[in-house]
Amino acid sequence: MSDASEDPDASAVLAALPTESADPRYAGIDHLSTLELARTMNEADATVPEAVAAVLPDLAEAVDAVAERLARGGRLRYVGAGTAGRVAVQDAAECPPTFSTDPDLVKAVLAGGRDAEGGAVEGGEDDAAAGAAAMAAEGIGPDDAVVGLAASGRTPFVVSAVREAGNRGALTVGLSCNRGTVLSAAAEHALEVEVGPEVVAGSTRLKSGTAQKLVLNMISTISMVKLGRVYRNYMVDMRVLNSKLADRAVRMIGEITDADRDAAREALGEADNRIKTAVVMIEHGVGAAEADRLLAEAGGRLAGALAMRGGA
């Protein structure tokens, strides 16, 4: 596939995108002091939440659809290239420790493969065939959800992946930072977060990257809330992997059950560091095995397990 530099029409389309445009307001940043530059970037970044807020109704609809697929046993795949892909890797990587999800539940698929996670493999984004092949390799099917990320909304790898996922019956979401994009047309749910020109023209790791991170935070977190992996506002499925997290877990258990620290710590140990099990043990005065049985009967939802026998 030829790139934009070899195709005048494609080059003109790319140049016209707001995310690629040079904003005259920032024309003199190379002459600003460090403090002035910091203020300029901070002011630009402050506009991103407002841009995200403008798509919240569409985002909520997309998240409901994603959560429904996950609830019936499907998987969530983020597809991206360059900065967007690495933002996706970060969000996906946080799901197992935060929500105790299987590592295969939420994953990022990058143009250029694993080599692109820690370094630039920017040429991979032009390979449309590879995008479709990646969905085949993942075994994407009707129970799955695929979110394609591209600030421009035209990245061939991502667009092709989303189209192939849709052809396979998967739910598809297109997240871009321009209006009326090819990616939006290819996806069932279009999220167009219009952040405008970047402080450094075309550097979409700035406002665009921030917008993508905010949206992915919502997609993954809200989905996990709907799946019962959060109780009240506590991440009760958190993996206890170090001393800081152990202390956080003890505090959570104490705040939920009103148990003192010693009792909370003892229950956590007996529950093999599983917070929900420890809470049910304390609230119902049962052992770990019975607490696990109640949780299993409630589909893993702590609220349901507590309600079964008159818990909080």
Q: Which residues are catalytic?
A: 94, 125
- Asked if 155 contacts 128 with a C-beta cutoff of 8 angstroms, the reply is no
232: left (phi over 0), alpha (psi -120 to 50) or beta: left
Using the structure block, give the residue that is written with the tokens 């995310």: 19
Tally the residues of the chain: 312
Q: How far apart are CA 192 and CA 175, in angstroms?
A: 6
Q: How far apart are CA 192 and CA 184, in angstroms?
A: 8
- Asked if 61 contacts 221 with a C-beta cutoff of 8 angstroms, the reply is no
3-state SS string for 144-184: CEEEEECCCCCCHHHHHHHHHHHHCCCEEEEEECCCCCHHH
Which H/E stretch holds residue 189? Answer: strand 189-192
- Asked if 17 contacts 152 with a C-beta cutoff of 8 angstroms, the reply is yes
H helices of the chain, in order, are 8-16, 34-45, 48-53, 56-71, 82-99, 115-118, 128-137, 156-167, 182-186, 207-226, 243-257, 261-270, 275-284, 288-297, 302-308
Q: How far apart are CA 282 and CA 252, in angstroms?
A: 13
- Asked if 178 contacts 19 with a C-beta cutoff of 8 angstroms, the reply is yes
